Amino acid sequence: MAYKPKPWVDKAWLAWFILQLLVIVFVDALQFYPKSLYATEGSPLHALKRLHDYYVATYNDPIVQWELPGRPWTRLFGLIEVGFQLPTAAYGVYLLSSSSSSRRSVGYADEMLFFLYALETAFTTLVCVHDVAYWDDAVYSPQQKRVFWLQLYGPWLLIPSIMAVDMFFRLQARLAAGAERKTK
């Protein structure tokens, strides 16, 4: 039996892409903006800097503390997020919000892009989840680590993983249909 995604699944992915877009633009990409836009009180994006500082003060998350040494991979992941995840999420919002208005439906290339996006997003989050296990026990209690695993990073690992499975089955169904047509 061929895999056929339900319309609500694409709506869920649309909601995910909107959330991802907002988080990247307003939180994660801040480190790449010119400091004059956020660093000082009264600068246009200073509220975003205050949000970042609040998160760091609340959770003491070393992964988002840009100045901390010892995690050079976090800058690389940030660049991947801005260079790949951001445009893919923007494209996903455009495509999935307009596909119901008969502009164009999700095609093979779109599913492949979303599959790669989901794998990349899940993998980079998995690295962060793994990193939590090695945080100093004197600074982070097991309960605090569980908050990172289950509340802060867990959803960002789980949801893209589910998306990867969904896109895999969509691609597999397309490949199977193509192979079936060739044998006839």
CB atoms within 10 A of CB 78: 20
Least-confidence region, from 4-13, 40-49, 50-59: 4-13
SS3 of 103, please?
A: coil
Average pLDDT for 69-88: 92
Express as a percent the part of the chain with pLDDT over 90.
79
- pLDDT confidence of residue 30: 94
SS3 of 40, please?
A: coil
Examine the pLDDT at 1 and tell me if it is beyond 80: no
80-94 tens-digit pLDDT: 999 999 999 999 999
Whether the CB-CB separation of 160 and 125 falls below 8 Å is answered with yes
Query: How far is CA 112 from each of CA 7, 84, 151, rounded to the nearest angstrom?
Result: 18, 14, 29
* Spatial separation of the C-alpha atoms in residues 81 and 143, rounded to whole Å: 28
* Spatial separation of the C-alpha atoms in residues 118 and 123, rounded to whole Å: 8
pTM score above 0.85 = yes
- pLDDT confidence of residue 66: 75
Sequence ranges of the domains in the chain = 7-183
* Spatial separation of the C-alpha atoms in residues 57 and 87, rounded to whole Å: 30
CB atoms within 10 A of CB 83: 11
Q: What angle do CA 137, 30, 89 make, to 5 degrees?
A: 95
Structure tokens at 54: 């609040």
The better pLDDT of the pair 72, 130 is held by 130
- pLDDT confidence of residue 182: 67
* Spatial separation of the C-alpha atoms in residues 178 and 172, rounded to whole Å: 10
95-129 tens-digit pLDDT: 999 755 555 678 899 999 999 999 999 999 999 99
**Residue owning tokens 């609040």:** 54
- pLDDT confidence of residue 136: 93
Examine the pLDDT at 50 and tell me if it is beyond 80: yes
- For residue 84, the 8-state DSSP code is I
- pLDDT confidence of residue 4: 74
Query: How far is CA 30 from each of CA 3, 50, 74, rounded to the nearest angstrom?
Result: 40, 11, 14
Structure tokens at 75: 């800058």
- pLDDT confidence of residue 3: 67
Torsion of CA 83, 73, 63, 151, to 10 degrees: 70
Average pLDDT for 140-147: 96
